[in-house]
């Protein structure tokens, strides 16, 4: 099973990915997470990427494609993976096709989580992320038991740098201009599924499960 999870910033890709990869035993590949982790480790790629991320701009196709290419070559990605947040431009979608072709592989499904812009803003402002394990929460919609402490690992929660209103607006613009065209690219191939992201976590997950079938 090789799945792409698409949708605007704040659609709930990361939240759904956490559950899907567990239930379906997939390798979770999130380019955003990889960049943030690399930045936390103060690696050159992460430091370079954060200059773009903070302002809500995309990291270059060149860097992003290379990061994904190296990740897909690792053993745990050979059979099953879920890509969250990649591809984000037509150039990246074409590059992914080439990589998969070389691996004699292809995508099983592309799932697009659809959410209106007003709801996105409210989700971003309240989002909190665990510094240790990356689990995602929301002050109102998914609060932790103890304030600012991760339920899963006891780590401290923080607010992402790019969740400031100016960065969010820029991310939404870029999503519309650069990422939306890919949806048509996949629709044309008949592997695109759309899910209403403006439901509860469980309802969204259930719709995704209906598309993927019961986990084996």
Q: Which residues are catalytic?
A: 13, 88, 127, 160, 171
What character string, x for contact with ligand AP5 (CB under 6 A) and - otherwise, covers 78-117?
-------xxxx---x-------------------------
The contacts of residue 160 (CB under 8 Å, 6+ apart) are 36, 127, 129
d(CA 130, CA 113): 23
139-161 in b/e form (b: 16+ CB < 10 A) is: eeebebeeeeebeeeebebeebe
Residue placing its CB nearer to Mg ion in the complex, 94 or 201: 201
Between CA 81 and CA 29 the distance in angstroms is: 7
Binders of Zn ion among residues 39 to 98 (CB under 5 A) are none
Instruction: Say if residue 213 is exposed, middle or buried (CB neighbours under 10 Å; 0-12, 13-18, 19+).
Output: exposed
Site for Zn ion in 150-179 (CB under 5 A): 150, 152-153, 155
Helix H or strand E segment including 13: helix 13-24
86 touches which of Mg ion, ligand AP5, Zn ion, none (CB within 5 to 8 A by kind)?
Answer: ligand AP5
Binding residue count for ligand AP5, defined by CB under 6 A: 36
CB 133 to Zn ion: min, Å: 3
User: Where do contacts with ligand AP5 occur on this chain (CB under 6 A)?
Assistant: 7, 9-15, 31-32, 35, 52-53, 56-59, 64, 85-88, 92, 123, 126-127, 136-138, 141-142, 162, 171, 200-201, 204
């Amino acid at each position: 099973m090789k799945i792409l999870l698409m949708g605007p910033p704040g659609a709930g890709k990361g939240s759904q990915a956490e559950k899907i990869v567990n239930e379906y035993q997939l390798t979770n590949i999130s380019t955003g997470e990889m960049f943030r982790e690399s930045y936390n480790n103060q690696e050159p790629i992460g430091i370079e990427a954060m200059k773009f991320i903070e302002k809500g701009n995309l990291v270059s196709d060149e860097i992003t494609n290379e990061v994904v290419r190296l990740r897909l070559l690792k053993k745990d990605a050979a059979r099953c993976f879920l890509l969250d947040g990649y591809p984000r431009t037509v150039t990246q979608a074409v590059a992914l096709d080439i990589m998969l072709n070389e691996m004699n592989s292809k995508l099983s499904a592309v799932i697009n989580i659809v959410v209106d812009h007003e709801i996105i803003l409210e989700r971003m402002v309240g989002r909190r992320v665990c510094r240790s394990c990356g689990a995602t929460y929301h002050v109102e919609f998914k609060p932790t038991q103890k304030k600012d402490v991760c339920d899963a690992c006891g780590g401290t929660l923080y607010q992402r740098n790019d969740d400031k209103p100016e960065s969010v607006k820029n991310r939404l613009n870029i999503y519309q201009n650069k990422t939306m065209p890919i949806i048509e690219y996949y629709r044309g191939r008949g592997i695109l599924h759309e899910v209403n992201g403006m439901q509860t976590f469980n309802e969204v997950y259930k719709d995704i499960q209906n598309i993927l079938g019961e986990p084996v």
